[in-house]
Amino acid sequence: MPRDPIRVRREVVDGRRVRLHSVYPDGGRWRDSATHPPLLLIHGLGCSAEVWKPAMRRLAECGLDRPVYATDMPGYGRSAGPPEALGIDDLADWTARLMDVLGIDRVHLSAHSMGCQVALALARRHPERVGGLVLVGPTEGADLVPLWRTAVGLLLDVLAEPMLYNGMLLKMYLQMGVLRYFATVRRMVEDDPAERAAAVHAPCLIVRGGQDGILPEQAARQFADLLPRGSFLPVEGSAHAVQFNAPERFTQVALAFWSRAEAEAMRDGGENGVSRGQAPLLDTLRALPVAP
C-alpha cells in the first residue's frame, strides 16, 4: 500500500497545542514562500482538517513544488482552544500567527463554508499575507442567505452528501461539543462577509457544488459579483463539500486558478509578492484544463 503523503504533527500557537496536517514536495525542498506561496486550507464550522484529506492527497499526486497545510483551528478537532468561542476576526488573526510559527510570509488560501469567512477576514486584515482565495460553498451572511435558509439547507445537504462524509461530520461535531458549536454560530453570524466584500482585493474564486443545499446558486453568484476580483464556478455532481466529494475536480480548478493568479501578479510587476520572471505555480499546472 502506498505511503500516505499527509503528515500530522502538533504545533504550539498562543501557548496551545494545535494539530497540523501537511503535505510536502518530494525531496523535502520547496521554493521561497514569498514568491511561491504555500497552500493553506481552512475548514468550516464544527469541522477539522479531516475534511481536506482527499484534496491534500490529490494535491500530492500533482507533484507540488510547495507545502500544503491544513490545521484544526483552536477549539476544533484535536486542537486546544480557549474557554470562549472565537469570532471570525479572532480566527483570522490566529491564522496569521500560525503562519508566523510555520515561518510563512504569504499563502494561497482555500476554505470551506464558514472557513471562507475566516479566509476573507485574513485577506482584509492581513492583505500582504494572502495570494489567491478559492472559497468552497462560502457562508455569506444573512443579507444574502437568511439564517432560516441556512438552517434548512444544512438538513437538505445531509441528504446529498455521501455517508462517509456525514459520518465524519458527526464525529467532528462531537469533538467540538454542542455548547461550543452554538457559541461559535453566534460569533459567525456577527460577521457579514458580503457587507465587507469590497475590502478584499485578492483574486477570489467562489466554487459551489451543483447539489449544495446550503448555498443557493444565486447567492453564490451575487457574492462573487460583490468581490472586486471575484468569479464564480459551479461544480456539478457535488454537494456542499466539493473538496471532499470531488477532490480531482477541486484540485484541477484550484490549481488552475492559483496559477493564473500568480501569472497576473507577474504581469503586474510583483505587486503581490511574485517577482517578474518567476514561473507561475508549477509547469505541470499549465497543462491542466481550465474549468469551463
Instruction: List the domains of the chain with CATH numbers.
Output: 7-247 (3.40.50.1820)
Residue 29 scores a pLDDT above 80: no
Sorting pLDDT into bands at 50, 70 and 90, what band is 264?
confident
Weakest-pLDDT range from 203-212, 235-244, 276-285:
276-285
Sorting pLDDT into bands at 50, 70 and 90, what band is 142?
confident
Sorting pLDDT into bands at 50, 70 and 90, what band is 229?
very high
Residue 287 scores a pLDDT above 80: no
Residue 32 scores a pLDDT above 90: no
Residue 47 scores a pLDDT above 50: yes
Residue 248 scores a pLDDT above 60: yes
pLDDT in the model for residue 200: 98
Q: What separation in angstroms does the CA of 33 have from each of 36, 122, 126, 149?
A: 5, 17, 16, 40
pLDDT in the model for residue 3: 85
Residue 144 scores a pLDDT above 70: yes
Weakest-pLDDT range from 112-121, 141-150, 262-271, 275-284:
275-284
Q: Residue 195 corresponds to which cell in the numbers above?
A: 457587507
Other Cβ atoms less than 10 A from the Cβ of 269: the count is: 10
Other Cβ atoms less than 10 A from the Cβ of 159: the count is: 10
Mean pLDDT computed over 225-248 = 95
Predicted model pTM: 0.89
Please indicate whether residue 205 or residue 160 has the higher confidence score (pLDDT).
205
> Contacts by 153-158 with C-beta closer than 8 Å and gap 24+?
153/212, 153/213, 153/214, 153/215, 153/216, 154/213, 154/214, 155/213, 156/213, 156/214, 157/212, 157/213, 157/214, 157/239, 157/240, 158/213
Mean pLDDT computed over 214-230 = 95
Mean pLDDT computed over 186-199 = 94
Residue 278 scores a pLDDT above 50: no
* Residue 3 burial by Cβ neighbours in a 10 Å radius (0-12, 13-18, 19+): exposed
Residue 266 scores a pLDDT above 80: no
**Tens-place pLDDT, residues 51-65:** 999 999 999 998 888
Contact 201, 229 (CB under 8 A): yes
Residue 270 scores a pLDDT above 60: no
Mean pLDDT computed over 171-187 = 93
Sorting pLDDT into bands at 50, 70 and 90, what band is 160?
confident
Residue 282 scores a pLDDT above 80: no
**Tens-place pLDDT, residues 82-103:** 999 999 999 999 999 999 999 9
pLDDT in the model for residue 28: 66
